[in-house]
Amino acid sequence: MRVSPSGPRIPNEILRYTFSIVTGDAGKVIAPLPYAQASTVDTTGPSAIFALFIGLPGALDVGDVTVVSGGGNTGSKISCRFALVTVVAGLPIVTPVGTPFEIDPTLAGGVSFFRIDESDVIIPDTGAGIVLQVTVPGDVVINSTLTILLGVGANWKPSAIRNPLI
């Protein structure tokens, strides 16, 4: 973790996700692609491997969520949660971690913001894949738009990065 001269922590990296929820996502667990514009994959298929961000040992930190809604959408709240992906005996093991946060698809048209604290997401010393799992309930109907922009800080262990700032 780096510290600025004024004291607050500065993340080593910011993981960024931008994705849209559509009616066709209802009843699925999807994963947005990190650093890709409005792209998601169905986590039940082999393409889920593209949603992984390979993380160094360390932890996630606080983040900001921006929800852009066209209004007129219906359905239950959409749950978002980080998961770590490790490989054991050649098989990927997905372990949900951290505190889930929810997106309300019924938000009025406009832009909403909220802060999340994902500091309880710890990446082990072996490193791990990080994936954001988005569970879209089966009753979600998107009549306009619902786009989510998420940025969350990542603080890598100083011993895991080359030439860390101290």
Q: Is residue 45 part of a domain?
A: yes
Q: Which residues have C-beta within 8 Å of that of residue 45, sequence separation ≥ 6?
A: none
Q: pTM (2 decimals)?
A: 0.86
In this prediction, residue 4 has a pLDDT band, given cuts at 50, 70 and 90, of very low
Residue 6 pLDDT? 44
Tokens matching residue 47: 């393409």
Does 32 map to a domain?
yes
Confirm whether 161 is domain-assigned. Answer: no
Position 164 in a domain: no
Domain with 14, as residue range(s), is: 2-156
Binning the chain into helix, strand and coil, the percentages to the nearest 5 are 5, 50, 40
Whether 21 is covered by a domain: the verdict is: yes
Query: Quick one: which of 48, 52, 76 has its CA closest to 141?
Result: 76
Q: What is the mean pLDDT of residues 131-156?
A: 95
Mean pLDDT of the 122-145 span? 93
- Looking up residue 143, the CATH number of its domain turns out to be 2.60.120
Rounded distance, CA 1 to CA 10, Å?
7
The total number of structural domains that make up the chain: 1
- 58 confidence band (pLDDT: 50, 70, 90): very high
**Residue position matching structure tokens 């998601």:** 40
